[in-house]
Structure 1
Amino acid sequence: MATSEQHRPEIVVGLVATPPDYPAQVVARLSAELADRLAERVDPDVRWTVREGWGDVAPRRDGGVEALLDDLARRRADARWDVAICLTDLPLHTERVPLVAHASARRRVAAVSLPALGLRQLRAVRSAVPDLVGRLLADASEERVPAAGWAPAELAGRIAAIHRVVGEVDAGELGYVASRLIGRVRLLTGMVRANRPGRALLGLSKLLVGAFGAAAFALTTNTIWQMGDALGGLRLTVIMLLGLTALVAWLIVAHDLWEKPDRETPAELARLFNLGTILTLTLAAAVSYLVLFAGTILAAALLIDTSILEQSLQRPVAFTDYLILAWIISSLATVGGAIGSGLEDENTVRAAAYGYHPEPGGWRDEKDA
């Protein structure tokens, strides 16, 4: 058995995550099972060896996918891998449509843009990477492995995010692109997924504490009760939206989260980064608002007796009156919480900016290990 194992040709596949933050977590989960998937999907008569690697803290922005592939090719040559696959959270484009993946047989490398895969990224990566490896080895005409072993599946049929294939098939330069409309929607949802809005939500803990304090004070003011009763649903909705908008805007301005186009960041990429940041913060702010709303309802039900509320409003009250009361108080407290958000930890809040990649303490480059 050991002698037979030694005579099997070995193929070394490198998995590179850039930046070593969210993509590194995907790589860590994929590398544990990739060898078995390659044996099943590409060639069972090969000893598959998977190496993990971490790229730079942030990928190059100015050169698009070509610069990323060139950097990856140099990394592959230095590490003496047979092929290399890069997983990145950088949104890539070609022909003004989102690029899901690009395979370069000449360089024996391929890149996968995680946000272009949408929400179910790990599931899509599990299908995409084995096919990309098979495609690279087939197009590169690997002589020490029987050619019959390389029959890659059609990637576009396996991944829902891929709409069509572009590039030079004969030259082995293939780009897998998404559709123009649905692909952009999937890209934005994938960017929010990769940006981990839960992390942003946990980072707004001081904001929630300040908002709860403002809400507790407002609960004791019968003027607020009467104001909520007098305002209609439309105006209450406007006040809520203004409060959430003020919160998101304050976070962006106070913590300098707005990405500005420059030499390294093209205008289109800066717009995507800013949109991803806005969506992430909006989602975190909306969840915070719901938590505040639920807490305010509970506090109002416990602290304000029905008879006292009836005396203030001068009419019979129902549970909907408590909902309206919590609605206006939560909206006003959100504005107060926006001011208190300036006290949040700078690094925690900046992590919600899509273009910001702090140095993660849990990951190390292989060259430094």
Structure 2
Amino acid sequence: MSHSERARPEIVVGVVATPPDHPARAAAQLAADLAGRLAERVDADVRWTVREGWGEVAPRRDGVEALLDDLAQRRTDDRWDVAICLTDLPLHTERMPLVAQSSARRRVAVVSLPALGLRQLRGVRAAVPDLVDRLLTDASDERVASAGRAPAEMASRVAAIHRVVGEGDAGELRWVASRLIGRGRLLIGMVRANRPGRALLGLSKLLVGAFGTAAIGLGNSSVWQLSEGLDGPRLTVIMLIALTGLVAWLIIAHDLWEKPDQETSAELARLFNLGTTLTLTLATAVSYLVLFAGAVLAATLLIDTSVLERALQRPVDFTDYLMLAWLVSSLATVGGAIGSGLEDEETVRAAAYGYHPEPDGWRDEKDG
């Protein structure tokens, strides 16, 4: 490090992920270029140092103030100047989704990743430099040149949020989303944070069992005749019943339903359950499409047109194969639910929004 580098004041920014799962991935990507963004948007004459850390594997559920208190303690223990927490908890204030909250007194801030919707990394990269700027300005940190300027306003960078001033802390600011648009974005963000792709891969045995059931159905001429008597609306109802039953079976059989308790409010439990249900619905819907595509391919390859015409006693076309595959896929989905009981418990439970397995591969810098 050159003499000029050492002469520049250093500000240490801690980025804490809780739990160390999806938030840790966002924190790692944010920390990679955060120092450069802080130099560009806050003060280029400061030597910015970024530290990464973990929060609790099972994060606090008793409100944002508890999270901020824990973060402030971590900041003090590690001698960081400011600290930012990234969490996948869906936070609320006055029944509005809370995107971020800062506390100048504690010199910390928290960002709820789900409240940022689908493009969470982009939102975090936009929000965190402004939060750091706000914390240092409100704390009157002399190492950051003020020159009479106001700190950047995060609300102008992140869509559909606005700032409100906290009542209990003179330096406390909250950024909230609207009840309607914000709730929709929050639910989308929860599904994004819950990684439905992981749930889909975790149900591989279910899909294998469903393919086996589908193969048996395709070879049964009674199923061919049954599909002939069903139209689109009826097949749609059968499909929806099968998918709903599968999602319900997964939740019940693997105890994925969150119940309110002393730490988990009724509102938070409802959001967790909604996030779990939406994640499983998306995963099972994709599985169904894969199953349907495989059933169509198998039907066209294995069932000769002349054989199907003799069974149905009429000319057939490709639509008949589609209707047959549609029915077989719905029946096989029910059979796949039985196969889901063979899934590894840990793999299936990962689809529950409130469940956080022990981290693997993330290293807390305080342990380094």
- Please tell me the TM-score bracket, short chain as reference: over 0.9
SS at match of 2:166: strand
Match in the other structure for 2:360: 361
CA contact (8 A) 1:118 1:186 kept: yes
Match in the other structure for 1:264: 263
Match in the other structure for 1:240: 239
Q: Deviations over 1:38-73 (max 9, x none)?
A: 0000000000000000111021102x1100000000
Match in the other structure for 1:74: 73
Instruction: State how far apart, in whole Å, the 2-side matches of 1:317 and 1:96 are.
Output: 57
**1:94-109 residue pairs with structure 2 within 5 A?**
94-109=93-108
TM-score, L = length of structure 2: 0.97
Computed over aligned residues only, the root mean square deviation of the Cα atoms, in angstroms, reads 1.4
Is 1:53 matched with 2:53? Answer: yes
* Aligned residue pairs, count: 368
Is 1:7 matched with 2:7? Answer: yes
Match in the other structure for 1:31: 31
Instruction: Tell me how far 1:348 sits from its aligned partner.
Output: 0.7
Q: Deviations over 1:252-285 (max 9, x none)?
A: 0111000000001100000000000000000000
Instruction: State how far apart, in whole Å, the 2-side matches of 1:225 and 1:149 are.
Output: 78
Instruction: State how far apart, in whole Å, the 2-side matches of 1:9 and 1:364 are.
Output: 27
Instruction: Tell me how far 1:143 sits from its aligned partner.
Output: 2.8
Percent identical across equivalent pairs? 80
Unaligned runs of 5+ in 1: none
Specify the code of the residue in structure 2 equivalent to 1:55.
Answer: G
SS at match of 1:147: coil
Match in the other structure for 1:331: 330
Is 1:189 matched with 2:188? Answer: yes
Instruction: Tell me how far 1:3 sits from its aligned partner.
Output: 1.7
CA contact (8 A) 2:136 2:144 kept: no
Match in the other structure for 2:84: 85
Is 1:16 matched with 2:16? Answer: yes
CA contact (8 A) 2:163 2:173 kept: no
TM-score, L = length of structure 1: 0.97
Specify the code of the residue in structure 2 equivalent to 1:109.
Answer: V
SS at match of 2:161: coil
Instruction: State how far apart, in whole Å, the 2-side matches of 1:368 and 1:50 are.
Output: 16
Specify the code of the residue in structure 1 equivalent to 2:18.
Answer: T
Instruction: State how far apart, in whole Å, the 1-side matches of 2:233 and 2:32 are.
Output: 53
Instruction: State how far apart, in whole Å, the 1-side matches of 2:236 and 2:228 are.
Output: 14
SS at match of 1:58: coil
SS at match of 1:343: coil
Q: Deviations over 1:188-207 (max 9, x none)?
A: 00000000000000001000
CA contact (8 A) 1:101 1:176 kept: yes
Unaligned runs of 5+ in 2: none
Instruction: State how far apart, in whole Å, the 1-side matches of 2:24 and 2:160 are.
Output: 21
Is 141-150 or 121-130 further displaced after alignment? 141-150
Q: Deviations over 1:169-203 (max 9, x none)?
A: 99221000001001000000000000000000000
Instruction: State how far apart, in whole Å, the 1-side matches of 2:337 and 2:146 are.
Output: 62
CA contact (8 A) 2:103 2:169 kept: no
Specify the code of the residue in structure 2 equivalent to 1:9.
Answer: P
CA contact (8 A) 1:43 1:149 kept: no
Instruction: Tell me how far 1:234 sits from its aligned partner.
Output: 1.4
